[in-house]
Structure 1
Amino acid sequence: MAKVFPFHGYRYNQKQVGELEKVVTQPYDKIDQQLQEEYYEQSPYNIVRLILGKEEDRYYSAAENLNDWIKNQILVRDQKAGFYVYTQEYEVDGKKFVRKGFIGLGKLEAGEGVKAHESTMEGPKADRLKLIRATEANFGHIFMLYSDQKNEINDLFTKLMQKKALFEVRDEDQNLHKVWQLTDSELIARIKEKMESKNLYIADGHHRYQTALNYQRECREKGWQADGVESFNHRLMTFVNMDDPGLKVLPTHRLLYGIEDFKIDSFLEKAAEDFSIKEFDSKEKMYNYLDQNTKKKVFGFKAAAEAEYYVFEFENEAVLEQIEGGFSQAYKELDVSILHNIILDKYLGVDKKALAAKTNLDYIRYRDRALEELEAGKYQAAFILNPTSVKEVKNIADQGEKMPQKSTDFYPKLLTGLVINKLSIKK
């Protein structure tokens, strides 16, 4: 049962900050040191100073900056509570898509109400908890999926979207993000009603969601009380229909390094025990085979020392029984499960500890970029994957299991800084 609520969002005052491109960012976990520096240089009001500051006491600085920006009307609070319709126009492989969703507050659920498909790590959760303690605010969105095969909720936004957007901004990849504020009380009531029958699935933001639950528990233990919906019992979220054709999941490819005595002939010989192996003389032919066989368990492969391109097509279902951990058949049959547990672990000795420590693999979004990096000489081989389907994400989450790391890439990311939720707490 998804309970969603309109809220009074804080937004950038464009009269003060100028171009929104200079102040919004990618989610905090996508910001490396170089990108952090770039964001710092773009504007003294860039949201990076709140979500991932460079100062020694960055949590205190974030709180101080937030309060100053509100006081000086760098950030202003919308007078009317509402949802915020959010669209993202983007391209994948030359095809254009529009992903639709809406921003609101979602009730935190520790049990079955919200389903996750990724495991979380203690370090990021501790970091985000310190930030929310200091700022008492939600900056980054949790990307939530729900199922609506008739597209009834998105259809409620059609009339509003015919009007000029409240604002629009382009990200680093030139994807266009548009936001409208929805304050119509009748529409809000209909959205809330239709969402109540939905289960929610976390697409991105697993650490932020667990952090919100941890913070909620802390506040309750201290005897603090929620002051309305804009408080610790609810969290800033963007809700997207998983049945919308505008939703795409991209694959994350793997680049192999640091394998001692890696020999292509012996590796291919081992792989032939469980896979049929097809050889191609160009990457385009390899890509074409992968694209035409998305329903099969297939992987592209290229070794740095070889001119040939390969596709491994999985054949030996019996070997799936060797995957330890009591996982479901659906989990074992995931492309990434087969890659990690059979190709990497069984053939190359890259086990779960090595994967967790990131000692032998790097991850990259685009297959052309993966092969370019391979040619640059740092890596020994590249594994090219097909995307995990949204249906597979749902099935794994419904069974309470967690996918292998980097199984999904919901593209484009939700920008941070479009709308902020400041918490109201009675202490």
Structure 2
Amino acid sequence: MAKIFPFRAYRYNQEKVKELEKVVTQPYDKIDSQQQDNYYKESPYNIVRLILPKEENRYQTAAENLEEWIKDGILVRDQKPGVYIYTQEYEVAGEKITRKGFVALGELEAGEGVKEHETTMEGPKADRLKLIRATEANFGHIFMLYSDPKNDINNLLSKRMKAEPLIEVKDEDQNLHKIWKLEDVDLISEIKEKMMNRDLYIADGHHRYQTALNYQKECLKKGWAADGVESFNHRLMTFINMDDPGLRVLPTHRLVYGIKDFKLDLFLKKTAENFEINKFKIKEEMYNYLDKNKGNKVFGFKAKEDTNYYGFQFVNEEALAEIKEKYSDAYNKLDVSILHNILLEKYLSIDKKALAAKSNLDYIRYRDKALAKLAADNYQAAFILNPTSVEEVKKIADQGEKMPQKSTDFYPKLLTGLVINKLSIKK
């Protein structure tokens, strides 16, 4: 069951912080060192100084910054609890889209009520646990999906959106993010009731969710008690209807490097036993091939040493025999499963250990950028993918399975810094 709670968020004081664009960021795991530097330059109050400080003692630094900003009125707490309506206006392939959801606290569940589709790694969870221990706060959101085919909940939210938003800010990609606050007790109760019997699916924030569960266990073991809803039993979440037409999933493309003795001719010869291979002169032909074959287990491919582009279509179901012993049919039919278990592991020796060590493979959004980085940087090849569908995500999560890393890209990301939850704990 999905239990949600209104809360009193901390928000940037717009009388003191005039330009919100200079203080909000992408989620912490999307921030590289260059972006971190850029965010630092934007403002002394950029949220990166709380979620990803550069200082050596960064967790303590984050805690000290948070305490100082609250004391100085940079961050202020809302007087009344509420649910925060959150919309994102963005563009994909020339189409203008609006994604609508709401921010609230969600009750933590370790069982069937919250379903995951990605495997988590120990390093990021340990990092986020140290941060929450030091700050006792939730900064980044858990991106939660729920199913509401009739769009009943979003229709309730629309009633409040006629007023001017509290927050309106653009991100680096010029996507427009808006926040309204809903304080109507009756309307919130109706939303809570409609959410009660729905399953939740984590779209983004698997590491943060697992960290919240770990922190909850830690607090209970110490004998600490929750002080109201803004506690370690609940987590800051944004809830998005997976049936809403405003939801899009983008593919994440792969860039290969560090493969010893990689030879294109040999690679093409070997892969031909399981794939039908098409050759193209220009990238647009490869793109067209991918667009026309969504759902047909196809991949784009470009090697740095060759001017040609390629389209791979998987045609040998017998090659899935080893995978089928471990996974469901839904998993086996995923493009990313075939990519990781056959193209990468069988033919390039990029196995699960290499993926865990983050060696041999980088990930990138947008196919043009992937090809540009292949040409400019020290990469050997690029694999261009079609997106994983929301229906596929749901099937995999329902079966308790985990997709390969970077199987989904729910775009745009939820901005960090729009609303913050400070935990209240009795120690």
Same fold (TM over 0.5): yes
- For the residue of structure 2 that corresponds to 1:179, the secondary structure is strand
Find the counterpart in structure 2 of residue 287 from structure 1: 287
Contact 1:335–1:388 (CA under 8 A) maintained in structure 2: yes
Identity of matched residues, %: 74
Find the counterpart in structure 1 of residue 332 from structure 2: 332
Amino acid at match of 1:332: N
Moved more, 268-277 or 234-243: 268-277
- For the residue of structure 2 that corresponds to 1:160, the secondary structure is coil
Contact 2:143–2:204 (CA under 8 A) maintained in structure 1: yes
- For the residue of structure 1 that corresponds to 2:340, the secondary structure is helix
Residue 153 of structure 1, CA deviation: 0.5
TM-score (norm 1): 0.98
**CA distance in 1 between partners of 2:348 and 2:224 (Å):** 53
Amino acid at match of 2:298: V
Deviations 1:182-212, CA, capped at 9 Å, x for gaps = 1111110110000001100111111111111
* 1:413 aligned onto 2:422: no
TM-score (norm 2): 0.98
Find the counterpart in structure 2 of residue 231 from structure 1: 231
Residue 359 of structure 1, CA deviation: 2.1
Deviations 1:303-350, CA, capped at 9 Å, x for gaps = 112222111111111111122761112112210110111111112222
- For the residue of structure 1 that corresponds to 2:330, the secondary structure is helix
Moved more, 105-114 or 117-126: 117-126
Alpha-carbon distance change, 286 to 110 in structure 1, aligned in 2, over 3 angstroms:
same
* 1:296 aligned onto 2:296: yes
Find the counterpart in structure 2 of residue 402 from structure 1: 402
- For the residue of structure 1 that corresponds to 2:413, the secondary structure is coil
Find the counterpart in structure 2 of residue 145 from structure 1: 145
**CA distance in 1 between partners of 2:236 and 2:346 (Å):** 42
Find the counterpart in structure 1 of residue 25 from structure 2: 25
Amino acid at match of 1:47: I
**CA distance in 2 between partners of 1:160 and 1:344 (Å):** 49
**CA distance in 1 between partners of 2:251 and 2:186 (Å):** 40
- For the residue of structure 2 that corresponds to 1:201, the secondary structure is strand
**CA distance in 2 between partners of 1:395 and 1:180 (Å):** 33
Find the counterpart in structure 2 of residue 89 from structure 1: 89
1:226-375 matches, within 5 Å, as: 226-323=226-323, 326-375=326-375
Contact 1:301–1:311 (CA under 8 A) maintained in structure 2: yes
Find the counterpart in structure 1 of residue 173 from structure 2: 173
Residue 358 of structure 1, CA deviation: 2.4
- For the residue of structure 2 that corresponds to 1:214, the secondary structure is helix
Contact 1:232–1:425 (CA under 8 A) maintained in structure 2: yes
Contact 1:144–1:239 (CA under 8 A) maintained in structure 2: yes
Find the counterpart in structure 1 of residue 159 from structure 2: 159
Find the counterpart in structure 2 of residue 118 from structure 1: 118
**CA distance in 2 between partners of 1:259 and 1:69 (Å):** 48
- For the residue of structure 1 that corresponds to 2:38, the secondary structure is helix
Deviations 1:197-233, CA, capped at 9 Å, x for gaps = 1100111111111111111111111111111111111
**CA distance in 2 between partners of 1:250 and 1:359 (Å):** 23
**CA distance in 2 between partners of 1:347 and 1:53 (Å):** 40
Runs of 4+ in 1 over 4 A off after TM superposition: none
Contact 1:304–1:377 (CA under 8 A) maintained in structure 2: no
Alpha-carbon distance change, 53 to 325 in structure 1, aligned in 2, over 3 angstroms:
farther
Amino acid at match of 1:285: E
Alpha-carbon distance change, 278 to 343 in structure 1, aligned in 2, over 3 angstroms:
same
**CA distance in 1 between partners of 2:179 and 2:406 (Å):** 29
* 1:135 aligned onto 2:135: yes
Residue 250 of structure 1, CA deviation: 0.6
* 1:41 aligned onto 2:41: yes
Contact 1:278–1:311 (CA under 8 A) maintained in structure 2: yes
* Superposed CA RMSD: 1.2
Deviations 1:10-33, CA, capped at 9 Å, x for gaps = 100011111001111111111111
Gaps of 5+ in 2: none
**CA distance in 2 between partners of 1:414 and 1:214 (Å):** 23
**CA distance in 1 between partners of 2:200 and 2:353 (Å):** 31
Residue 377 of structure 1, CA deviation: 5.1
- For the residue of structure 1 that corresponds to 2:278, the secondary structure is strand
Amino acid at match of 1:387: P
Residue 56 of structure 1, CA deviation: 2.1
Deviations 1:118-153, CA, capped at 9 Å, x for gaps = 111111111111111111111110000001111110
- For the residue of structure 2 that corresponds to 1:143, the secondary structure is strand
- For the residue of structure 2 that corresponds to 1:101, the secondary structure is strand
Find the counterpart in structure 2 of residue 100 from structure 1: 100
Contact 1:253–1:370 (CA under 8 A) maintained in structure 2: yes
Contact 2:276–2:312 (CA under 8 A) maintained in structure 1: yes
**CA distance in 1 between partners of 2:115 and 2:14 (Å):** 37
Moved more, 305-314 or 391-400: 305-314
1:180-259 matches, within 5 Å, as: 180-259=180-259
